[in-house]
Each structure stands twice: as C-alpha cells, then as structure tokens.
C-alpha cells in the first residue's frame, strides 16, 4: 500500500474574507508541488467592524469566531506543524486584537499569527509566483486586500522589493462610498487618495521595471471576472486592462449605487467592497503605468503553504533570514558556531519538556519539537552577538531589540518573541525575564547561557565532557574536576550563574566530578 501524500493547510484571516485551503504535497521529477484538495471561503468583513478608535465591534468579532469554528471542524486531526494560520491588516491595527485572537484560537484549534505587512507581501509573492507561468525579467505582483494593498517586485520565486500600504477595498469603500453610493466626485476622491499613497513608492517600482504584472487574490480576480463576463476589455483580452476598468467605473457611476449595479458575474458578497477595490486598482494602473495585468486567485494562502513545505523539507526561510542578519551585523561566525554547537550538544542531553509537545505525544511529535528547539537554539546562537555592531555595553539588549522589532521574513511574531527572549537572557541578570515566566523557555535559555559561559575565551578549549540534567524545577551541571582546577574564571562564573538562577526560584547545582 502506497503512503498517502502529506496534507498541509493554510488559514488566512483577511480584512474582508476568511479563507482555508488544504493542499496535497506531490513529489515529481521536476520538483515539489502543492495541489489544492479543499477550500473554504467566507466573507467576514472584519475591517467593517473597526471603529474610528480602532476597536473591533462585537458583531464583527462574532462573525469571525463562527467562521473559525467551522474551519476548526475541517482541520480536526491535523498535526499543528501542518497548519499555519495568519491574520493581516485589520488585526495588525485593532487595539483589541488580543481579545479577538484568544477566542479565535480556541475556535480554530490552532495558533494564529498576526503577520507584518512586509511578511504578508513576501508570502503573497511566493503564492503568486508558484501559480503563474514563469517569465523573463522581473514580475510585479499587486494584492488588494480588505485593509491593505501589497506591492512586490520579484524575479522567479525571489521577492526583491516589497511594500504594504494602508489602502484596502473594505476601508476605502467605507470611507468614500458609504451605503454603496457612487458618483463621479466620490470616485475621483477615492482614486486621488489611493494615488497619494502609491506615489510614495511609484518611482522606485517604475525604475525597477517588470515584464509581467499579476493581480493576486480576491479583488483582482473579482474585477477580472466582471470585465471578461461583460466584454469590457478591448479585443476579448483576459485579465485586467485600463480600458476595461474605466468602462466598469462608468457602469458603476451610472448605477449610482453598487447595490443597483446589474452585471454578469457580479457576486453579492463583493458588492459592498467593489467601489473601493475598483478605485484602488485604477490608481495602481495609472500611478504605476500598467496597461494589462494577469490575475491569479493564489496568493497569501498558497504562499503560507509553500513556506510550511519549506520548513518540512529543511528549506526554512527563517534560516535564510538568520544568514542575512549574520552578514548585515558582522557577526563573528566562528564564535556563533562554537556557541551553537555546544548549546545544542547540551540540549540533546535533556528531555523534551511536555509543554513543548503540542501534538498527541507520539515519538514523531517529540522529534519534531526537539528539532524546532535545536533550530531556535542555533538561530539564537548565530544572532546573540549582533548587538555588538551597535555597542559593547548592554549588547544583549540591542540584540534582543533587533530580534524583536526587525522585519524577519519567515518568522512569525511568536517565533520572534521566543528568539528575542533568548537573545535578551543569554547573559546578565535573569530577573529581567522573571515577570515573563510563562513565555520563557528556560531549558533553551539554560543551554544557551551555559554555552556562552564556557565559550567566553572564544577558543575551542572546552572540557572533554560537560554533562547536564534536569532537576525537577532546575538543572544540574557536571564538569571534570581536573579541568575546572586550571580554569578558575569558569569556576567563578559557574558559581555566579547558580546564584542568578536561584534568585528567580530555580535550582542550579554545579558538580565537579
């Protein structure tokens, strides 16, 4: 019996719609592909529930929770490592996003990451690039969402320039076309507002040039369907054209209200956001001097799945990002590797903590948790000294600030938070982390701090053996007596380290064998 192809799932909590796609991973002679096997889409219009003070109202939250409960039923039985759920602009700006996310994660049954605009752009490009024919030269991808619009120029599967602007079909429709009312003046004002935003990036994008323009996801696809179904494009051209968009605008203005527009292919759930989406797309065409744009429905969700696939196949974008940071901040590679090798060696002597196992406790679950812990230790070791590029004094704080706030493609906010805690805590007092005891992975931090301590001389002169054990609510370190007798600074440092851990209520026993 053949082994079934693995399934991956992506959930996209967009500002207009929530979507779920499930894909089957297929290995072919030409490479690995993901084929969609199931998809769910429900209009939630989360951005419509955002008031002037940036708070989500309860009805919009409830719509979101109800949809996620249904998605959760479909995902029941999936391993956590095979599902990634991401949220975009509305939950980036909502002041009560944490209130919504707590119930949302319970409803879905999986963690939800609120991703930054540039990370959203990177994932959108990955999805679009995997769904359209290859082209020579650069490719422009534009994704008009409910609350933001992403602009990416890339080549092949690599994004080169990425921007996210706060203009979206839901927010623009609410601001300029209340109750769906449309006239020449409102449309002109909506286009001017969008063009003012796009002008900030237009020169850079036009200078980069492209040979293929792609409109990704819902807004672009819905507009293309309207243009094609109603013969608005010149010469029956597929996709989006400047002339076709202008004809659609005239039809909308003539109807005076989006709800009275009678066109073939117009779906009711798209009516409330059509004027805003159209005005933004017209602005993109005019400001970036686009004449024709192909469309694809694949974008963020498919990009999330390919990102997941990369992690399972050890082509993790996070590793690429860490390498870029090592170069950018002039990290001492030899020291980073020295610390990383020792930290992982120590970690392998310790049991995987029960809290790490998010699956059903199987050997495979524990192995995957172990691998993720080792990866995080390796990244933290690679980046722990990047703060030295700013100042030697309190360099660990600079490292942690960069790790917490920098744009790090591939890293979710929880990923970055865990990394930043390790960077902050790898030296110095532990009291600064004690108030966040529920977030800190003390076992990883123990291994990293001990590795930094032993590698302080920045040489490979280490004991033949360093043994570590878990002691209930603490740790034990065993070092050869003969080695410690000729290394009094390490002896002193170990005793100070033990005192530091005991200050926060965790045991730390040093044994000289």
Q: State percent of the chain over pLDDT 90.
A: 63
How far apart, in whole angstroms, are the C-alpha atoms of residue 15 and residue 34?
25
**pLDDT tens per residue across span 231-241:** 999 877 888 99
How far apart, in whole angstroms, are the C-alpha atoms of residue 88 and residue 123?
12
* DSSP code for 47: G
Q: How confident is the model at residue 128 (pLDDT cuts 50, 70, 90)?
A: confident
Per-residue pLDDT for 475 more than 70?
yes
The pLDDT score that the predictor gives to residue 29 is 55
**pLDDT tens per residue across span 351-388:** 886 444 444 455 666 677 788 889 999 999 999 999 99
- What would the mean pLDDT of 443-471 be, rounded to a whole number? 93
How far apart, in whole angstroms, are the C-alpha atoms of residue 420 and residue 385?
12
The pLDDT score that the predictor gives to residue 474 is 92
Of 275-289, 437-451, 494-508, where does mean pLDDT reach its minimum?
Answer: 437-451
**pLDDT tens per residue across span 27-48:** 755 567 788 899 999 999 898 8
- What would the mean pLDDT of 281-304 be, rounded to a whole number? 91
> Please, are residues 282 and 202 in contact by the beta-carbon 8 Å criterion?
no
Of the chain, the end-to-end C-alpha distance in Å amounts to 53
The pLDDT score that the predictor gives to residue 454 is 95
Per-residue pLDDT for 311 more than 70?
no
> Please, are residues 8 and 34 in contact by the beta-carbon 8 Å criterion?
yes
Average pLDDT, the chain: 88
The pLDDT score that the predictor gives to residue 1 is 41
Look at the alpha carbons of 298, 301, 306, 309 in this order and tell me if their dihedral is positive or negative. negative
Per-residue pLDDT for 132 more than 80?
no
How far apart, in whole angstroms, are the C-alpha atoms of residue 310 and residue 328?
23
- Domains of the chain with bracketed CATH: 7-116 (3.30.420.40), 132-297 (3.30.420.150), 316-462 (1.10.3210.10)
- Burial of 134: CB neighbours in 10 Å, binned 0-12, 13-18, 19+: exposed
How far apart, in whole angstroms, are the C-alpha atoms of residue 506 and residue 490?
21
Record the tokens describing residue 356, joined without a space: 């790490």
- What would the mean pLDDT of 335-350 be, rounded to a whole number? 95
> Please, are residues 219 and 295 in contact by the beta-carbon 8 Å criterion?
no
Q: How many CB atoms lie within 10 A of CB 364?
A: 12
> Is beta strand 149-155 parallel, antiparallel or unpaired with respect to 139-144?
antiparallel
* DSSP code for 6: P
The pLDDT score that the predictor gives to residue 11 is 96
Per-residue pLDDT for 12 more than 90?
yes
Of 76-85, 103-112, 405-414, where does mean pLDDT reach its minimum?
Answer: 405-414
- Which positions ≥6 away from 68 have C-beta within 8 Å? 11, 13, 18, 104, 107, 108
The pLDDT score that the predictor gives to residue 409 is 67
More confident residue, 324 or 112: 112
Q: How confident is the model at residue 263 (pLDDT cuts 50, 70, 90)?
A: very high
Q: How confident is the model at residue 151 (pLDDT cuts 50, 70, 90)?
A: very high
- What would the mean pLDDT of 340-356 be, rounded to a whole number? 83
- Which positions ≥6 away from 56 have C-beta within 8 Å? 46, 49, 50, 90, 94, 96, 97, 100
Helix, coil or strand: residue 96: coil
**pLDDT tens per residue across span 399-430:** 999 998 887 766 766 788 889 999 999 999 98
Of 132-136, 201-205, 365-369, where does mean pLDDT reach its minimum?
Answer: 365-369
Per-residue pLDDT for 218 more than 50?
yes
């Amino acid at each position: 019996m053949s082994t079934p192809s693995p399934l991956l799932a992506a959930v996209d909590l967009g500002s207009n719609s929530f979507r779920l796609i499930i894909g089957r991973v297929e290995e072919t002679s030409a490479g690995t592909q993901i084929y969609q096997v199931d998809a769910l889409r429900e209009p939630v219009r989360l951005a419509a529930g955002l008031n002037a003070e940036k708070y989500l109202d309860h009805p919009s939250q409830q719509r979101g929770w109800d949809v996620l409960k249904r998605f959760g039923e479909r995902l029941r039985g999936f391993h956590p490592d095979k599902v990634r759920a991401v949220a975009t602009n509305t939950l980036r700006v909502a002041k009560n996003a944490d209130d919504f996310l707590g119930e949302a994660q319970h409803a879905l049954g999986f963690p939800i990451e609120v991703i930054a605009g540039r990370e959203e752009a990177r994932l959108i490009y990955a999805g679009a690039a995997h769904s359209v024919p290859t082209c020579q030269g650069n490719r422009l991808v534009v994704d008009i969402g409910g609350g933001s619009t992403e602009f990416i120029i890339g080549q092949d599967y690599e994004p080169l320039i990425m921007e996210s602007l706060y203009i979206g079909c839901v927010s623009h429709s609410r601001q300029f076309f209340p109750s769906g009312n449309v006239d020449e003046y409102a449309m002109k004002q909506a286009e001017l507002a969008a063009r003012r935003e796009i002008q900030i990036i237009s020169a850079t994008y036009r200078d980069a040039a492209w040979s293929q323009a792609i409109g990704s996801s819902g807004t672009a696809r819905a507009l293309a369907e309207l243009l094609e179904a109603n013969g608005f494009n010149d010469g029956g051209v597929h996709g989006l054209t400047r002339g076709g968009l202008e004809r659609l605008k005239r039809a909308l203005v003539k109807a005076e209200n989006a709800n009275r527009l009678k066109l073939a292919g117009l779906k009711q759930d798209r009516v409330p956001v059509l004027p805003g989406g159209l005005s933004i797309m017209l602005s993109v065409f005019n400001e970036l001097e686009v004449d024709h744009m192909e469309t694809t429905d694949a974008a963020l969700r498919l990009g999330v799945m390919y990102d997941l696939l990369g992690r399972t196949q050890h082509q993790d974008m996070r590793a690429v990002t860490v390498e870029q940071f090592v170069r950018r901040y002039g990290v001492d590679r030899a020291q980073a590797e020295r610390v990383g090798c020792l930290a992982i060696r120590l970690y392998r002597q310790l049991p995987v903590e029960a809290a790490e196992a998010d699956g059903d406790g199987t050997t495979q679950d524990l192995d995957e948790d172990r691998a993720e812990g080792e990866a995080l230790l390796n990244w933290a070791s690679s980046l722990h000294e990047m703060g030295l590029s700013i100042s030697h004094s309190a360099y660990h704080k600079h490292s942690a600030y960069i790790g917490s706030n920098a744009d790090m493609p591939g890293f979710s906010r929880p990923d970055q938070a865990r990394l930043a805690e390790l960077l902050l805590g790898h030296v110095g007092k532990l009291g600064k982390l004690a108030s966040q005891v529920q977030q800190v992975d003390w076992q990883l931090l123990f291994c990293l701090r001990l590795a930094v301590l032993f590698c302080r001389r920045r040489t490979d002169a280490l004991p033949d053996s360093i043994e570590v054990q878990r002691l209930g609510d603490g740790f034990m370190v065993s070092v050869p007596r003969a080695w410690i007798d000729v290394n009094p600074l390490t002896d002193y440092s170990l005793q100070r380290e033990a005192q530091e851990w005991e200050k926060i209520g965790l045991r730390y026993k040093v044994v000289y064998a």
